[in-house]
Amino acid sequence: MVRLAIPASMGMLFNTLYNLTDIWFAGYLSADALAGMSIASSVFFLLLSIGIGIQSGASAMIAPGAGRNDTSGVKDWVNNVCGMAIGFSAISFAIGYFTAQPLVVLLGAEAHIEPLAMEYLWVTLAGSVGFILSFGAAGALMALGDTKSNRNALVIGFFANFILNPFFTFALGLGVSGIALATVVIKFATAFYLLRVLAKRLEIRIRPRFNWQRHKALLRQVLPASFNMLTIVLGSFITVALIGQFRSEHVAGYTVGLRLEQVLLLPALGLNSAVMAIVGQNMGAGKNERIVDAFQKSLLIGLAMAALSIPLMWFLSPFTVGLFTDSESIKSTGITYLRIDTLAFYAYVVLFQSVAVLQAIQKPMFPLYLGIARQLVIPGSINYVLIMVYDFPMISMFYTIVIVVILSALVAYFYTKREIDLLPNR
């Protein structure tokens, strides 16, 4: 498990550092550029979320075949995953074309922030196919037990970003558009590299396929995972919209804090990838008793991760947030969010591992329902009433998030244990 988790965690670390690099360059441009890119990022990932589930969907469908050594079936799934990725990217762009600008305004972008947000959005939307193809290829490789290739791509992408960002942003004078263009170029290169690794490993020439029967089976895994991600993005979207009521610099502070928190959660997310691959392959091989062991070990490893990460999250937050901005209001919001959310750190770990097991045993609906409640309905309703009706301070939203995450983790843990107990041949 650790052998798979470490490369996945390293890849995710560099992916988040990549995002932090974008934030740093935007902050170097101006506080307005940072606020505009923060708002645009929320809108972009909302529009992209329909295709994000293709990574876990591809892993869930390919891993059992890999466990059975069904090489022909695995090859066919890979081609269909590529076909679906192209379709999802077209849908994301079409929806974004009509909704991006109203969504930016909805998030509280003032008149001088809106053009900066739209600059970033148009470029990233045009390159959405690179994002989704790389997600699908990473999921296929993860199902085959290869988390190193995606790690390598993300590490190289991080360093490439340090070259392309200043070149496009400052040397060519493209500003916020340059930050977006650097990301798009790197995502296309990542997709090309991962697909090439897949083709060599499976000894095939990858050709996108649109087999309806395969796509229906894939959609049964992809759509719940995508909608689960959609609820996460929508929940963040609602949070950003409500924070935007207190001015856009607080949106920037929350975004910086959120990205820094993700750095510390990355080992748990890498563990999540390892658990999905291990559980999926053992289910395909009919060794269901190993699923219990994998789940229990992942929670113990996650507890050790939390014990190390929580003190760092609390004590280093003033220093780390200060690296991205000199604005006191932005720094104050980011530090406050990080310190309050330490209370929910291990609950996030439990949620990640529970969802990974459920997706790997092809039970994706409960994570979707829980995600709708946890990310959308409960915190959205409570925070709306607190902020818009009773005029509570912004900090109350952060405490709502913590309470909901802890309760959701308890529900997810006991539900996952029950589903494991119901598996045959234990």
Q: What are phi and psi of 406, to 5 degrees?
A: -65, -45
Residue 307: name the closest of 265, 352, 359, 346 by CA: 346
Q: What is the pLDDT of residue 59?
A: 80
Task: Say if residue 426's pLDDT is above 60.
Answer: no
What is the torsional sign of CA 232, 249, 96, 207?
negative
Measured CA to CA, the distance from residue 116 to residue 113 in angstroms comes to: 6
Structural tokens at position 283: 């289910």
Measured CA to CA, the distance from residue 48 to residue 362 in angstroms comes to: 23
To 10 degrees, the CA torsion angle through 245, 249, 251, 255?
A: -170
From the CB of residue 139, how many other CB atoms can be counted at a distance below 10 Å?
A: 32
Per the prediction, the chain carries an average pLDDT of 86
- Average pLDDT of the segment spanning 333-349: 95
**Residues 6 or more apart from 326 whose CB is under 8 A from it?**
none
3 state SS of 316: coil
Task: Say if residue 22's pLDDT is above 80.
Answer: yes
The region that residue 247 occupies, defined by phi over 0 for left and psi between -120 and 50 for alpha, beta otherwise, is left
Task: Say if residue 4's pLDDT is above 60.
Answer: no
**Side chain identity at 332, as an amino acid letter?**
S
- Residues 138-171 pLDDT 10s: 988 988 888 789 889 988 999 999 899 999 999 9
- Residues 252-298 pLDDT 10s: 889 889 888 888 887 777 787 778 778 877 776 677 778 888 898 88
- Residues 291-327 pLDDT 10s: 888 898 889 998 998 999 999 999 999 999 998 888 8
Q: What is the pLDDT of residue 118?
A: 95
3 state SS of 404: helix
- Residues 167-200 pLDDT 10s: 999 999 999 999 999 999 999 999 999 999 999 9
- Residues 224-242 pLDDT 10s: 777 777 777 777 778 888 8
Measured CA to CA, the distance from residue 155 to residue 163 in angstroms comes to: 13
The region that residue 69 occupies, defined by phi over 0 for left and psi between -120 and 50 for alpha, beta otherwise, is left
- Residues 47-100 pLDDT 10s: 887 777 788 788 878 877 777 777 788 888 889 999 999 999 999 999 999 999
- Average pLDDT of the segment spanning 8-22: 72
Q: What is the pLDDT of residue 9?
A: 59
- Average pLDDT of the segment spanning 419-426: 76
Q: Let me know if 328 is exposed, middle or buried by CB neighbors in 10 A (0-12, 13-18, 19+).
A: exposed
Q: What is the pLDDT of residue 3?
A: 56
Task: Record the pTM.
Answer: 0.71
